[in-house]
Structure 1
Amino acid sequence: MSVASTADKGAPWPLILPAFMLFIAVVLVPLAMTVLLSFHDWGQYKGIEPVFILKNWEEIWSDSYFYEMFARTFRIAALATLLTAVFGAPEAYILNRMRAPWKGFFLLIILGPLLISVVARTLGWALLFGGRNGIVNKALMSMGLIDTPIAFMFTETGVIIALAHVMMPFMVLSVWAALQRVDPQVENAALSLGAGSLTIVRRIVLPQIMPGILSGGIIVFSLAASAFATPSIIGGRRLKVASTLAYDEFLNTLNWPLGAAVAVLLLIAIVLIVVGSNALIERNYSEVFR
């Protein structure tokens, strides 16, 4: 092996090393410290004791309160993901068929929420919901869709709607990226052969954009399950999820080891769900296209 080829193989490492060291310092080290903290003891008068115990994990597994928190967390994340898929996929399809300059204009509208702080967006939804006399309830009642006001604040419904709005750009961009690989002439060919619009969408468009929907769903679900600002503002203290529960344990009760255990368990659950979903998706598609 020549000296030049050896140098070429070793050349990327000086470029990768700074980013890799930053990743270790910013991500891996705090994560390892959080995992170790979850095995420490805590008392109201003695504080945190650096001993290795399983008390925090046993408390989580034995208390139904934590089961309720995690079930609510993943239920809200799943429904928010479903809502973004139902509205985001058609939105991306319409965007893909637009022509300039309208495509760029509406793409900017879709990406607009990402340019605004998530706290500001969630506070905007809090103003729209505004209790039983909020703008949303007044609009629905004026259109005759409802007879009595709906409670959006401090409910799962309000949190799901706000999360779906916050996460919608991720779903739209994922589906739009999948549509870039779809040949529009295939739809025209199907139309010329007598296929209806619904048949074209169901038999041609939907199977081709399904990878984008599934990848967008994984992104949205992960972000929604770990979201903090939206559940804490819209849900308040009445409707806790895993992220707000960990926050309360850290800053309100000061039980850092228990909060660390909740945070680590949430991370593990999200990773397992994402990895399992990705493996299931890849296996199904490999069987289809085998």
Structure 2
Amino acid sequence: MRNASLPYWLSAPALTFYALCVAAPLAATFLLSLNGYQDGIGVLPVLGLGNYAQILSDPYFHLIFGRTFVLALAVTALCILLGAPEAYILYRMEAPWRGLFLTIILGPLLIAVVVRTLGWALLFGSHGAISQTLQMLELADRPISLMYTMTGMVIALVHVLVPFVVIAVWASLQRLDRNIELAGESLGASQLTILRRLVLPQVIPAIVSGSIIVFSLAATAFATPSIIGGRRLKVVATLVYDEFLTTLNWPLGAAIAVLMLIANIALILTYSRLMERRRVERQKAVSVAFQEKVA
């Protein structure tokens, strides 16, 4: 009996910490989102779903939620396109170059988010290095500014989030048997075929996990969109900030945060299940093809 209850006692400290630091604030936020609000009075002790109805029926909120998810999807796609090849190149490197380039890749994570974003703001300005370089190369006939644009936000977020894909894929490649690639080469397969048929199927779970992390961080990012996007291009995180600290409508801000969390979790679970189902179907197809070939 004591042995049966031992795992629960061992996990009790972690569960208690989770309840106090995560579950309790989420529950408090949800309860706050059910309250009403009136200008000049503040939060009203009246429970209801009025805040959720306002968000779901107002096109202004639809626009901000849509912009947020488009931003997160664009950042995730670019991080996969850049991070997966970077991880494979890093995997094929030898020491000491591997350690040097790994440090370079992880460099954005070692800089404070505000400092890093302000650095991008200096580059993106109409008199920044990017604009001056484009004019010097005669690719632009006037100053170009990426501030307060979706492009600027995507670039700044990709810069800091691509290491999460690189690390996830690189860790998966570390467990890859190099003999598989050598066997493909000995059978006359091209390098592209080896990457597509042998390497890629084994690192897809790592790409999925890395992309989920990137999507979550991009969808909930605050500092970078608030500095690069400004007041012109609001996302959900900056909208919640404005509702809490500018208009002081805390119930509405809490409702926006809850809906963002629900939408984020729903999209992540759907994406994860679709990729898992695709992986299982591919494994079944390979198994059937192998059995037919043996027969």
Is this a same-fold pair by TM over 0.5? Answer: yes
- Residues 103, 133 of structure 1: CA spacing in aligned structure 2 closer, same or farther, 3 A cutoff? same
Partner of 1:134: 128
Partner of 1:198: 192
Partner of 1:3: none
CA distance in 2, matches of 1:149, 1:89: 34
**What is the Cα deviation at residue 207 of structure 1?**
2.2
CA distance in 1, matches of 2:138, 2:6: 68
**What is the Cα deviation at residue 138 of structure 1?**
2.2
Q: Secondary structure at the match of 2:43?
A: strand
Q: Deviations over 1:79-102 (max 9, x none)?
A: 001111111111100111111122
Q: Which amino acid in the other structure matches residue 60 of structure 2?
A: Y
Partner of 1:189: 183
Alignment of 1:221 with 2:215, yes or no, is yes
- Residues 183, 7 of structure 1: CA spacing in aligned structure 2 closer, same or farther, 3 A cutoff? same
**What is the Cα deviation at residue 55 of structure 1?**
1.6
CA distance in 1, matches of 2:141, 2:166: 33
CA distance in 2, matches of 1:174, 1:220: 11
**What is the Cα deviation at residue 59 of structure 1?**
0.9
Query: Which has the larger displacement, 144-153 or 95-104?
Result: 144-153
Specify which of 236, 239, 242 is matched with residue 245 of structure 1: 239
Partner of 1:30: 25
Q: Which amino acid in the other structure matches residue 238 of structure 1?
A: R
CA distance in 2, matches of 1:188, 1:18: 48
Runs of 4+ in 1 over 4 A off after TM superposition: 143-149
Q: TM-score, structure 2 length as denominator?
A: 0.91
Q: Deviations over 1:220-268 (max 9, x none)?
A: 0011001111100110111100110010000000000100010000000
Q: Secondary structure at the match of 2:126?
A: helix
Q: Deviations over 1:123-150 (max 9, x none)?
A: 1111111x22211222344445555544
Q: Secondary structure at the match of 1:11?
A: helix
Q: Secondary structure at the match of 1:41?
A: strand
Q: CA RMSD in A?
A: 1.6
Query: Which has the larger displacement, 234-243 or 10-19?
Result: 10-19
CA distance in 1, matches of 2:128, 2:269: 41
Query: Which has the larger displacement, 278-287 or 145-154?
Result: 145-154
Specify which of 86, 96, 100 is matched with residue 95 of structure 2: 100
Map 1:20-169 onto structure 2 (within 5 A).
Answer: 20-129=15-124, 131-143=125-137, 145-169=139-163
Alignment gaps of 5+ in structure 1: 1-5
Equivalent residues, number: 284
Q: Secondary structure at the match of 1:50?
A: strand
Q: Secondary structure at the match of 2:258?
A: helix
Alignment of 1:207 with 2:201, yes or no, is yes
CA distance in 2, matches of 1:126, 1:194: 50
- Residues 150, 208 of structure 1: CA spacing in aligned structure 2 closer, same or farther, 3 A cutoff? farther
**Percentage of identical aligned residues:** 56
Alignment gaps of 5+ in structure 2: 285-295
